[in-house]
């Protein structure tokens, strides 16, 4: 019997029009273009400015682009997963709203939250449903409106994050393409170093939590940086070794876009030259759940059927991991 694997068969993206440049940030906080560029690699990021528009607005746009490009009938989609750390609303699923708006009327849907690893973990979930034969079309969307949780007076976070969304469709494949292996990890030790302190069940919203700015994301940058470098490098190396892949076998590294120095350290550890590393951090900053699919959308035309892709991510929690995937189509 032929083995069924889970392949990505289409991608789509959406980023808001408003461009927040390093120059503009210089007028908002005590920072400068040179510091941001050398320490992070970021030049600009996109911000969803319009009032009344949340993460679903971008998720819907990204999904609609995918549907149009791939000529997919939304009524055939079985499952819509929205990977996000910034849902439209607490409790009410952003994915349910997104699925209805894109016409996926026969799908069920839910959100998946694992901070910057949300999309990576979502790939595992989407692939498992396909491999088991349970569903035929799983739409995984990574979307985050990071500007909704950023304190634009805090120079240690506001320079990093941006808004965006991108989507990938997972379908069965019998040629051995798609997801090959995964190595996913988490460690609760990270909870103190990157979080929004209030607004959850541990510390519900109050006048006090608002006054003290506890609804914004805060991180101990240096600590997160160290964990990110060592863990993203470790899992990338591990997935290569486990699959008997040499650096020559790898066509692309698809790394979470948090900091160019983290990306370079990961690439160096597995010996990959820069031309094989996907990078768009200079344009979008860290879009949390959207970084990996935004890379796929931006590099889609360079990808060839059979290419070996190594995904790697690290995020709050801590959560991290690597996935080995064979690309399934020429665009
Ligand atoms: O996506 C999920 C996970 N998140 C990450 O992976 C982020 C990981 N962390 C990082 O990327 C980096 O730690 C940051 C970009 C957040 C910070 O870079 P860094 O090289 O670790 O800088 P630092 O925090 O060690 O700060 C160095 C100096 C400090 O000044 P002193 O103490 O040396 O005088 C900071 O106050 O840079 C100062 N600084 C800034 N200066 C200009 C911090 N932020 C800024 C800024 N502009 N925006």
pLDDT tens-digit map of 31-49: 999 999 999 999 999 999 9
Q: Is 286 a catalytic residue?
A: yes
Identify whether residues 133 and 203 lie together within a single domain: no
Let me know: does 115 contact 319? Beta carbons within 8 Å: yes
Distance between Cα 81 and ligand 1 center (Å) = 33
In the residue annotation, 256 being an active-site residue is answered as yes
Residue 135 and residue 238 in one domain: no
240: its two tokens = 């290569």
* Ligand 1 near 116 CB (within 6 A): yes
pLDDT at 97: 98
In the listed set 176, 210, 226, which residue is the last one of a domain according to the structure?
Answer: 176
Q: How far is Cα 294 from Cα 280, in angstroms, rounded to an integer?
A: 8
On whether both 135 and 185 belong to a single domain, the answer is no
Tokens standing for residue 207: 């006048």
Pocket test for ligand 1, best of 114, 150, 225 (most atoms within 8 A of CB): 225
Q: Which of 159, 176, 193 is where one domain is finished?
A: 176
Together in a domain, 61 and 199: no
- For residue 288, the ligand 1 atom closest to its alpha carbon is 1
Q: What is the pLDDT of residues 172-215, one digit of tens each?
A: 999 999 999 999 999 999 999 999 999 999 999 999 999 999 99
pLDDT of 2 reads: 82
- Residue 164 CA to ligand 1 centre (angstroms): 23
pLDDT at 11 over 80: yes
Nearest protein Cα to ligand 1, atom 16: 221
pLDDT digit string, tens, across residues 86-121? 999 999 999 999 999 999 999 999 999 999 999 999
Question: How far does the centroid of ligand 1 lie from the alpha carbon of residue 133, in Å?
Answer: 46
- Domain of residue 44: give its range: 5-176
Which residues touch 244 (CB under 8 Å, ≥6 apart)? none
pLDDT in tens, 274-302: 999 999 999 999 999 999 999 999 999 99
Share of residues in the chain with pLDDT > 90 (%): 99
With CA atoms as reference, report the closest residue to 117 among 242, 212, 285, 257: 257
CATH number at residue 296: 3.40.47.10
Res. 1: pLDDT tops 70: no
What is the maximal distance between C-alpha atoms in the chain? 63
CB 324 within 8 A of CB 180: yes
For residue 331, tell me if it sits in a domain. Answer: no
């Amino acid at each position: 019997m032929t083995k069924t694997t889970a392949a990505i068969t289409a991608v789509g993206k959406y980023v808001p029009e408003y461009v927040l440049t390093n120059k503009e940030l210089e007028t908002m906080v005590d920072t400068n273009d040179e510091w941001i560029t050398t320490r992070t690699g970021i030049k600009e990021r996109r911000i969803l400015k319009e009032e009344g528009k949340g993460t679903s607005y971008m998720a819907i746009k990204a999904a609609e682009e995918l549907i149009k490009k791939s000529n997919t009938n939304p009524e055939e989609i079985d499952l819509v997963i929205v990977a996000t750390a910034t849902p439209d609303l607490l409790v009410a699923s952003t994915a349910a709203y997104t699925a209805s708006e894109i016409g996926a009327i026969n799908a069920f849907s839910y959100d998946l939250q694992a901070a910057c690893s949300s999309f990576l973990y979502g790939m595992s979930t989407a692939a498992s449903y396909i491999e088991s034969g349970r569903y035929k079309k799983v739409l995984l969307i990574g979307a985050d409106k990071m500007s909704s949780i950023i304190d634009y007076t805090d120079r240690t976070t506001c320079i990093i994050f941006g808004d965006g969304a991108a989507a990938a469709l997972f379908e069965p494949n019998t040629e051995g393409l798609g997801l090959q292996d995964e190595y996913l990890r988490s460690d609760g030790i990270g909870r103190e170093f990157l979080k929004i302190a209030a607004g959850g069940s541990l510390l519900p919203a109050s006048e006090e939590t608002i006054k003290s700015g506890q609804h914004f994301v805060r991180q101990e940058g240096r600590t997160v940086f160290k964990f990110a470098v060592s863990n993203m490098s470790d899992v990338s190396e591990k997935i290569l070794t486990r699959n008997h892949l040499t650096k020559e076998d790898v066509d692309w590294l698809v790394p979470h876009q948090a900091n160019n120095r983290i990306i370079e350290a990961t690439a160096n550890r597995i010996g990959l030259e820069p031309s094989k590393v996907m990078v768009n951090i200079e344009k979008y900053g860290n879009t949390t759940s959207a970084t990996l699919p935004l890379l796929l959308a931006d590099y889609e035309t360079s990808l060839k059927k059979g290419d070996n892709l190594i995904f790697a991510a690290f995020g709050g929690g801590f959560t991290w991991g690597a996935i080995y995937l064979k690309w399934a189509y020429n665009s």
